[in-house]
Amino acid sequence: MTGRFVDEKFVVTKRFTIPVGHRLSKHMGRCQNWHGHNFDIMVSVSSNELNDNDMVIDFSDLKSVAMSVLDEWDHCLLVNKNDPIAKHPEFRDEFRIIAFNFDPTAERMARVLFSSISYRLKERYNANLEKITVYENENSHVTYTAKEVL
């Protein structure tokens, strides 16, 4: 016998891998040095209903939206705008750099990605960004979730 379900929700997740360099200028350990990761980023989209194709979102459409943000970070150096090295003109001219008002920790990266991807999803599809998970490696990850205030 099948029961009834309430608060039904579908969650679709796609994984992306991007190589990124960064430096945590406020860190007192090894992460204070320039280093890189092949970040695995899990993008999860949810909906209470399926679209006309019986999907939350087509995986290729999710890829298109997510990569419109992630491509900007691919093979970049992510830095705090107050990092003295990042302010050096020769350094800035030679490398692709994205500077933030904060250190580019996995926590901050997840939040920025959530905001950017969520905005682009709402522009194009009737799906909600459920969460972003950023893996620095297979043993260490951060998940960011938020609800939009209307």
**What confidence tens digit (pLDDT) does each residue in 67-111 have?**
999 999 999 999 999 988 777 777 767 778 888 999 999 999 999
Q: For residue 101, is it within any domain?
A: no
pLDDT confidence tier of residue 126, bands split at 50, 70 and 90: confident
Q: Is the pTM of this model over 0.85?
A: yes
Asked whether residue 138 carries a pLDDT value surpassing 60, the answer given is: yes
Share of the chain above pLDDT 90, in %: 59
| Contacts within 8 Å (CB) and 24+ apart, 112-116 | 113/41, 113/43, 113/69, 113/70, 113/144, 114/144, 114/145, 114/146, 116/69
Q: What percent of the chain has pLDDT over 70?
A: 97
Question: Are β-strands 77-80 and 97-100 bridged in parallel, bridged antiparallel, or unpaired?
Answer: parallel
Domain that holds residue 26: 10-75+106-144
CATH of the domain at 119: 3.30.479.10
25 in any annotated domain: yes
